[in-house]
Structures are given as C-alpha cells and as structure tokens.
C-alpha cells in the first residue's frame, strides 16, 4: 500500500519504519523544517527515535500536497499532537482528492471544543470521503521499533476499514486486533495520560506499590464513569485501549506523562518541566478539556478534579494525600 505519515515524532517515525520494512511505500512529513532536513540528510530521527536508520525507500517530503496529488495514497497516518491536529486537517482537506483511510495514532481531547479526534475530523473534513480508524493500545514506540512483542487495536465504525488497517500494520512482533467502539477507545487513550501524571506524582512523592495500585484502580473507575456518561461501552475500558494502555503509560520509564508527574511530585513546576521536554505531554493539555466535560456533565471524579486544580489552580501538592485519605467513607461501587 501507499502510506503518507503526517507527523515525525517517535510514534509516527516508528510506524513508518515498520511499514517500510513490511514492503509498503512510505512517505513521511514532519512539521518542523529543521527536523525534516536532519532526517533527510542523516536518514535518522535523532530527536525522537535515535538509533534507527530510515531506509532510502522512505521518502521524507517537504509538501504532502504534492504527495497526495502525484501518488495513489491509500492510508494517511495522522501522528500529530491533538491540539495541533485541527490546523493540520484544515491544510490537508484541500488535498484530499479521493476516499482515504485516515489512521489516527494521537490521543487527546481538544481544549477549545472538548472533541475527541474522530469528532475533530468530522468537523473539519465535512463533505470529504474517508474512513476513520484509531490505532491505539499499550505500545511505546521505543519497544515496538525494537520488535518487542506488542499488541494494538485497530478501531473503526467501519469494520472493513479496521480490517484493512489490521492487515497493513500487523507483523511478526506487532499483533493487531480490531474493534468498533471508537469513542470508548479514544477516551480511554486520552484520559489515561492524565492518570499517568497522577501515577508519576506518586512516584515523585516516594509512595509505594499500595498507593499506586489504589490510585490506578480508583482512576480507572473514574475513566469508566466518564466514558459511559459520554456513550462508550464499559467493556472497552477492560481492553487494550483501556486497562492495557493505562498500565503501560502509568508504569513505564518511557512515559512522558508519568515523567511529568514524577518531576511535579519532586517539587518542580510544570512549566519548567514542559520546556525541557522535546515531546508533548498530552495529559497536561487533555486535563483542561476533561475538566470542562466533568463540570458540564457533573461527573464525580475526585482524582481528575484534583489533578486539574494542582496543575492549573496552584493547589499545594502537600495537601493532596490528606484530601483523598480523609474524604467521607463510602462503598467502593
């Protein structure tokens, strides 16, 4: 297949690397001109995926409009952070001259609208023909590109499109399942980034396994509550894009969301940490949109409410534990 990747971060680069090795014709576009030039010249993404040489068959392109007009592209792989996606789609829209499969691998909720990525696509690409597929699950780019056995989910309301993506991406070390609950999978992937910040705060404060286990369990309870309120199937949150994605993001050394929380737990300010991070912490932006949804729908979510207050209302981190442990006693469910 002919595949255009929009976004040259770690995940976009890793998937392009694997798709090329599988024999697909791959084009890769990165927003940052300096990074594009570096990848072209050195055939390596030194900023986000150092150590993996990109074959000469992968075309690093300066203009994806030219690619779409001069090549019969089958799949457009969207690997752009959520808060920048709308502008990318606005530019992409004019170049969409046939029916494509849009495969999104970003996870988040748009701050300005409260929309998940499938809904952003509906909003911007109205009138265009495409099939939306979410590719998500417990997969760190650093491990997938090293051929460590991993499992991911291809999710679409059009099951045939999900199966096409399943066949296109599946290889000996990356097993791809299919699913149909787009909203549940999007919410699971987006909100677990917020929970990962909380998990990192536990690590930064020096708490142990008991604390983190309790936090993740109660946090997942809140994710299910938010998801079902917004129309998701609760079973989805026990699958790869729910429980699976939550485990890997909340416990891994590769997780930038967990790292952000850990540094906050050690007493550092969020703005200082974010400035030194090359990659975006989706959880830090998603919590803004999530908090508005929680308020609007009046959902009882003490963990995510406290995270928002800590990050954006200057609540003292030293009071967090006391707040949770001294709340009114109640039944678990």
Residues 195 and 94 in one domain: no
Task: Read off the tokens for 176.
Answer: 């791809």
255 is in an annotated binding site: yes
Run of H or E including 26: strand 25-29
Task: Read off the tokens for 37.
Answer: 């030039």
324 is in an annotated binding site: no
Domain of residue 305: give its range. 183-326
27, 61 contact by CB (below 8 A): yes
The angle that helices 282-297 and 182-204 make with each other, rounded to 10 degrees, is: 110
**How many separate domains does the chain show?**
2
182 is in an annotated binding site: no
280 is in an annotated binding site: yes
Is residue 44, in this structure, part of any structural domain at all?
yes
For 139-168, how does the pLDDT look when each residue is reduced to its tens digit (9 = 90+)?
Answer: 999 999 999 999 999 999 999 999 999 999
Residues 263 and 144 in one domain: no
pLDDT of residue 321: 81
pLDDT of residue 326: 86
> How many residues can be counted in the chain?
333
Residues 223 and 129 in one domain: no
Q: One digit per residue, pLDDT tens: the chain, 333 residues?
A: 999 999 999 999 999 999 999 999 999 999 999 999 999 999 999 999 999 999 999 999 999 999 999 999 999 999 999 999 999 999 999 999 999 999 999 999 999 999 999 999 999 999 999 999 999 999 999 999 999 999 999 999 999 999 999 999 999 999 999 999 999 999 999 999 999 999 999 999 999 999 999 999 999 999 999 999 999 999 999 999 999 999 999 999 889 999 999 999 999 999 899 888 866 789 999 999 999 999 999 999 999 999 999 999 989 887 778 778 888 899 998
114 is in an annotated binding site: no
153, 136 contact by CB (below 8 A): yes
211 is in an annotated binding site: no
192 catalytic per annotation = yes
Residues 11 and 145 in one domain: yes
Is residue 332, in this structure, part of any structural domain at all?
no
- Catalytic pick among 25, 192, 266, 315: 192
Residues 41 and 148 in one domain: yes
Nearest-angstrom CA–CA distance, 220 and 119: 23
pLDDT of residue 20: 97
3-state secondary structure of 293: helix
Strands (E), 116-268: 130-136, 150-155, 174-179
b/e map of 264-296 (b: 16 or more CB within 10 Å)? bbeeeebeebeeeeeebbbbbbbbbbbbebbee
Final residue in a domain of this structure, among 164, 180, 196: 180
Residues 141 and 234 in one domain: no
27 strand-pairing partners: 4, 59
Between the CA atoms of 18, 23, 24 and 28, what dihedral angle is there, to the nearest 10 degrees? 50
pLDDT of residue 222: 97
Task: Read off the tokens for 49.
Answer: 């995926």
57 is in an annotated binding site: no
Nearest-angstrom CA–CA distance, 288 and 283: 9
Between the CA atoms of 24, 142, 39 and 41, what dihedral angle is there, to the nearest 10 degrees? -100
Nearest-angstrom CA–CA distance, 167 and 177: 10
3-state secondary structure of 147: coil
Residues 203 and 163 in one domain: no
Residues 163 and 192 in one domain: no
286 is in an annotated binding site: no
Residues 58 and 10 in one domain: yes
Is residue 193, in this structure, part of any structural domain at all?
yes
Final residue in a domain of this structure, among 159, 180, 201: 180
Nearest-angstrom CA–CA distance, 193 and 229: 19
7 is in an annotated binding site: yes
Residues 188 and 278 in one domain: yes
12, 64 contact by CB (below 8 A): no
Residues 135 and 244 in one domain: no
Final residue in a domain of this structure, among 147, 180, 213: 180
11 is in an annotated binding site: yes
Residues 99 and 139 in one domain: yes
237 is in an annotated binding site: no
């Amino acid at each position: 297949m002919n595949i255009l990747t929009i976004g040259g971060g770690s995940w976009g680069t890793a998937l392009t690397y694997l798709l090329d090795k599988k024999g697909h014709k791959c084009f890769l576009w990165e927003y940052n001109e300096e990074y594009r030039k570096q990848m072209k010249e050195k055939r390596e993404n030194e900023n986000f995926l150092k150590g993996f040489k990109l074959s000469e068959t992968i075309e690093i392109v300066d203009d994806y409009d030219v690619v779409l007009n001069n090549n019969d592209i089958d799949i457009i792989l969207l690997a752009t952070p959520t808060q920048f996606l709308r502008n990318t789609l606005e530019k992409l829209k004019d170049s969409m001259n046939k029916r494509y499969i849009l495969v999104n691998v970003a996870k988040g909720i748009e701050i300005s609208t409260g929309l998940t990525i499938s809904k952003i696509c509906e909003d911007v690409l109205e009138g265009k023909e495409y099939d939306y597929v979410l590719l998500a699950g417990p997969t760190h780019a650093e491990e997938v590109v090293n051929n460590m056995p991993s499992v991911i989910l291809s999710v679409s309301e059009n099951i045939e499109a999900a199966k096409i993506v399943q066949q296109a991406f599946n290889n000996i070390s990356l097993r791809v399942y299919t699913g149909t609950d787009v909203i549940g999978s999007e919410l699971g992937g987006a909100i677990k980034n917020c929970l990962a910040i909380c998990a990192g705060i536990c690590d930064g404060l020096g708490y142990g396994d008991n604390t983190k286990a309790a936090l993740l369990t109660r946090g997942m309870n809140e994710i299910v509550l938010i998801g079902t309120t917004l129309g998701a199937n609760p079973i989805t949150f026990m699958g790869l894009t729910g429980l699976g994605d939550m485990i890997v993001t909340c416990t891994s050394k590769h997780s930038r969301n967990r790292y952000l929380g850990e540094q906050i737990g050690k007493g550092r300010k969020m703005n200082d940490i974010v400035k030194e991070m090359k990659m975006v912490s989706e959880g830090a932006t998603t919590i803004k949109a999530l908090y508005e949804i929680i308020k609007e729908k009046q959902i009882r979510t003490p963990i995510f409410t406290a995270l928002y207050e800590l990050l954006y209302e200057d609540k003292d981190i030293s009071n967090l534990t006391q707040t949770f442990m001294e709340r009114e006693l109640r039944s678990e469910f």
